[in-house]
């Protein structure tokens, strides 16, 4: 009941005219950013973070989170109508959504994606209302060793739960830790890795890294070739779902929403993994798995429900523990720090207006997005016809002005470009960028809590397994590190068995 009373208070904050306006601005920007191929919600949030500097913290955070979940809705448009995922989490939607569009059912695909995203999103925000306070209260028992292990888990889990090579994901995280080491030692005050540069004494700001690695890098990739995509047209009257469509999709939405929420709660997995997993689960549960890949409406429903649910679910560890589980929540966490707010378990008590205002704004934002994606979907689809090159120029200039605005220094503009090139090379070398950004955000907490722990234990690493809570977290870190090795072992065994079976079949021939 206390949570409901706090939520009611949150609505009184979120419904003020200014906050309502910025929820609308945030979700509209998120919808547009999600729809633009080559720029995802994390990049959009990083690019637009500087424009929140003059705003009240609640207003700034409701706008930035609006971009985060609005991006999940917007990505559907490009996936279905152009067959290019607007952002990574919409990749499974592109598979079936575009097939449906080619069959003349683009409207139904967009409608089921919007309704699925809305229902799963609202369900996930309800879970956020009831799970955040007890988790936050539980986290008050945490001390330095638990914080170190939790931050470490955030990084190692990103590597083990991601879809690519675990070694490469860990390389991304290590690069992030190296970036975070530059500057002045937070405990002893000595300068580290500054190589005599005064500009590096205060360390490397998070924003040039995030804007470069996400924003500039993605634009460089999209500029490799002239963008040209055929946009399939859709009309409002095509968006009605029949009773049969709804019956086929309602369980997919439920399953996708639950998968998304669980994946969102895990550090490191994020909406892309959630959408992939929900699609696989739905294919197994579906009475017509042969339709998947050729235009399955329930496949679209499951993937879209899961990605939106995961985005909202990932807010739970971020708000309760101060540990971001995904690249987008890492940007949001960095925004809180830049706005002078200390994230962590005390956030809910120290900044109750901000947390509950944010949660209430998510209910409102999802309603606005449902309206944008049902009756207004054809209007937003028409934006996809603007040639991408006209937008690129604006995005690049705003990125660089934003980088300058952080500290009024051209050095940061240069750093942004440098990290843009680093991000581009990482994409081409198939090294994931989210672990790098997560590591940059988590490194100060990791280093200070590690050193505090060893100070308390006079150098004994046993402090990390002495308390039951820290022992469980240490075990989770070990499991997250060994999971990729276990997967490699299973894959090799399966390949060996397949080889034996093939040899046997050849010998019987």
Partner 1 sequence: MRVTNLIAALTLLALSVMVLSGTWALPYWADFAPGSAFAPFWVAMVGMTLAIALFVTTLLDTSSEPNSFPDRHGIVRILALTAGLWLMVLLIPLLGFMSAGILFCLFLLLGIERRPLLPSLFTTAMIAGLVYGVFIAWLGIALPAGPLGL
Q: Which two tokens stand for residue 152?
A: 């470490």
Using CB under 8 A, which of the segments 269-277, 327-335, 372-380, 448-456 binds partner 1? 448-456
Using CB under 8 A, which of the segments 19-27, 258-266, 289-297, 453-461 binds partner 1? 453-461
Using CB under 8 A, which of the segments 15-23, 34-42, 346-354, 394-402 binds partner 1? 394-402
Residues 6 or more apart in contact with residue 247 via CB below 8 angstroms: none
User: With binding defined as CB under 8 A, does residue 485 bind partner 1?
Assistant: no
Q: How many whole angstroms separate alpha carbon 212 and alpha carbon 191?
A: 25
Q: Which is nearer to partner 1, 5 or 397 (CB)?
A: 397
Q: Which is nearer to partner 1, 353 or 452 (CB)?
A: 452
Question: Contact with partner 1 (CB under 8 A): which of 14, 152, 450, 474?
Answer: 450
User: With binding defined as CB under 8 A, does residue 486 bind partner 1?
Assistant: no
Q: How many whole angstroms separate alpha carbon 86 and alpha carbon 72?
A: 9
Q: Which is nearer to partner 1, 2 or 224 (CB)?
A: 224
Question: Contact with partner 1 (CB under 8 A): which of 429, 475, 498, 504?
Answer: 429
User: With binding defined as CB under 8 A, does residue 21 bind partner 1?
Assistant: no
User: With binding defined as CB under 8 A, does residue 459 bind partner 1?
Assistant: yes
Strands 191-192 and 183-184: antiparallel
Q: How many whole angstroms separate alpha carbon 407 and alpha carbon 339?
A: 14
245 and 112 in contact (C-beta within 8 Å)?
Answer: yes
Q: How many whole angstroms separate alpha carbon 124 and alpha carbon 41?
A: 19
Q: How many whole angstroms separate alpha carbon 229 and alpha carbon 362?
A: 33
Please identify which residue in the block is written with the tokens 């530059």: 182
Using CB under 8 A, which of the segments 245-253, 328-336, 389-397, 497-505 binds partner 1? 389-397
User: With binding defined as CB under 8 A, does residue 304 bind partner 1?
Assistant: no
Instruction: For residue 54, give the H/E element and its range.
Output: none
At its nearest, how many Å lie between partner 1 and the CB of residue 119?
35
443 and 176 in contact (C-beta within 8 Å)?
Answer: yes
Question: Contact with partner 1 (CB under 8 A): which of 190, 228, 242, 508?
Answer: 190
User: With binding defined as CB under 8 A, does residue 505 bind partner 1?
Assistant: no
Residue 320-359 contact track with partner 1, rule CB under 8 A, x = bound = ----------------------------------------
At its nearest, how many Å lie between partner 1 and the CB of residue 429?
5
Q: Note the maximum CA span of the chain.
A: 77
Q: Which is nearer to partner 1, 374 or 483 (CB)?
A: 483
277 and 224 in contact (C-beta within 8 Å)?
Answer: no
Instruction: For residue 184, give the H/E element and its range.
Output: strand 183-184
User: With binding defined as CB under 8 A, does residue 54 bind partner 1?
Assistant: yes
Please report, as residue ranges, which positions from 213 to 242 form the binding site for partner 1 (by CB under 8 A). Answer: 216, 220, 223-226
Q: How far, in Å, are 327, 380, 502 from residue 420 at the CA level? A: 16, 29, 47
Q: How many whole angstroms separate alpha carbon 498 and alpha carbon 141?
A: 50
Question: Contact with partner 1 (CB under 8 A): which of 175, 211, 248, 252?
Answer: 175
Residues 6 or more apart in contact with residue 308 via CB below 8 angstroms: 69, 72, 73, 116, 117, 118, 120, 121, 124, 260, 271
Please identify which residue in the block is written with the tokens 């503009």: 413
At its nearest, how many Å lie between partner 1 and the CB of residue 320?
26
Quickly list H helices, 56-143. 57-82, 91-102, 106-139
User: With binding defined as CB under 8 A, does residue 447 bind partner 1?
Assistant: yes
User: With binding defined as CB under 8 A, does residue 178 bind partner 1?
Assistant: yes
User: Judging by beta carbons within 10 Å of its beta carbon (0-12, 13-18, 19+), is residue 159 exposed, middle or buried?
Assistant: buried
Question: Contact with partner 1 (CB under 8 A): which of 16, 143, 163, 174?
Answer: 174
Q: Which residues bind partner 1 (CB under 8 A)?
A: 50-51, 53-54, 167-168, 170-171, 174-175, 177-178, 181, 185, 187-188, 190, 192-193, 195, 216, 220, 223-226, 387, 389-390, 392-394, 396-398, 400-401, 404-405, 408, 410, 413-414, 417, 420-421, 424, 428-431, 447, 450-451, 454-455, 458-459
């Amino acid at each position: 009941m206390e949570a409901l009373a706090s939520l009611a208070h949150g609505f009184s904050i979120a419904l003020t005219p200014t906050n309502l306006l910025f929820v609308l601005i945030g979700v509209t920007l998120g919808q547009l950013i999600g729809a633009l191929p080559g720029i995802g919600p994390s990049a959009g949030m990083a690019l637009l973070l500087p424009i929140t500097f003059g705003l009240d913290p609640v207003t700034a955070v409701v706008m930035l989170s609006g971009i985060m979940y609005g991006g999940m809705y917007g990505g559907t448009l490009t996936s279905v109508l152009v067959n290019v995922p607007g952002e990574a989490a919409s990749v499974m939607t592109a598979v079936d959504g575009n097939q449906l569009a080619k069959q003349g059912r683009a409207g139904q695909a967009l409608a089921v994606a919007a309704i699925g995203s809305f229902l799963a999103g609202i369900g996930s925000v309800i879970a956020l209302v009831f799970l955040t306070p007890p988790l936050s209260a539980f986290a008050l028992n945490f001390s330095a060793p638990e914080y170190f292990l939790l931050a470490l888990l955030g990084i190692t889990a990103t590597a083990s739960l991601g879809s690519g090579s675990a070694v490469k994901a860990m390389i991304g995280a290590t690069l992030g830790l190296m970036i975070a080491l530059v500057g002045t030692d937070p405990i002893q005050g000595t300068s580290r890795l500054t190589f005599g540069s005064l500009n590096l004494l205060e360390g490397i700001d998070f924003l040039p890294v995030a804007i470069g690695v996400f924003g500039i890098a993605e634009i460089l990739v999209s500029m490799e070739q002239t963008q040209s995509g055929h946009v399939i047209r859709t009309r409002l009257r095509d968006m009605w779902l029949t009773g049969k469509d709804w019956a086929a999709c309602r369980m997919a939405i439920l399953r996708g929403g639950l998968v998304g929420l669980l994946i969102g709660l895990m550090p490191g997995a994020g909406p892309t993994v959630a959408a992939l997993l929900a699609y696989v689960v739905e294919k197994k549960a579906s009475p017509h798995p042969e339709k998947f890949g050729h235009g399955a409406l329930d496949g679209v429903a499951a993937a879209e429900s899961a990605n939106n649910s995961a985005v909202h679910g990932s807010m739970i560890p971020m708000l309760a523990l101060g540990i971001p589980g995904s690249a987008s929540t890492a940007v949001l966490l960095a925004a809180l720090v830049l706005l002078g707010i200390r994230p962590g378990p005390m956030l809910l008590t120290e900044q109750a207006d901000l947390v509950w205002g944010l949660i209430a704004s998510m209910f409102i934002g999802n309603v606005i997005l449902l309206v944008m994606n049902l009756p207004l979907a054809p209007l937003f689809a028409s934006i996809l016809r603007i040639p991408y090159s006209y937008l690129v120029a604006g995005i690049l200039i705003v990125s660089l002005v934003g980088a300058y605005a952080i500290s009024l220094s051209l050095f940061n503009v240069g750093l942004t470009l440098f990290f843009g090139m680093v991000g581009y090379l990482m994409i081409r070398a198939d090294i994931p960028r989210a672990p790098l950004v997560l590591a940059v955000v988590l490194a100060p907490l990791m280093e200070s809590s590690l050193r505090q722990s060893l100070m308390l234990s006079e150098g004994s690493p046993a402090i990390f397994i002495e308390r039951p809570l820290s022992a469980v977290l240490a075990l989770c870190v070990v499991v997250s590190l060994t999971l990729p090795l276990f997967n490699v072992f299973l894959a090799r065994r399966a390949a060996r068995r397949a080889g034996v079976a093939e040899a046997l079949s050849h010998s019987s021939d």
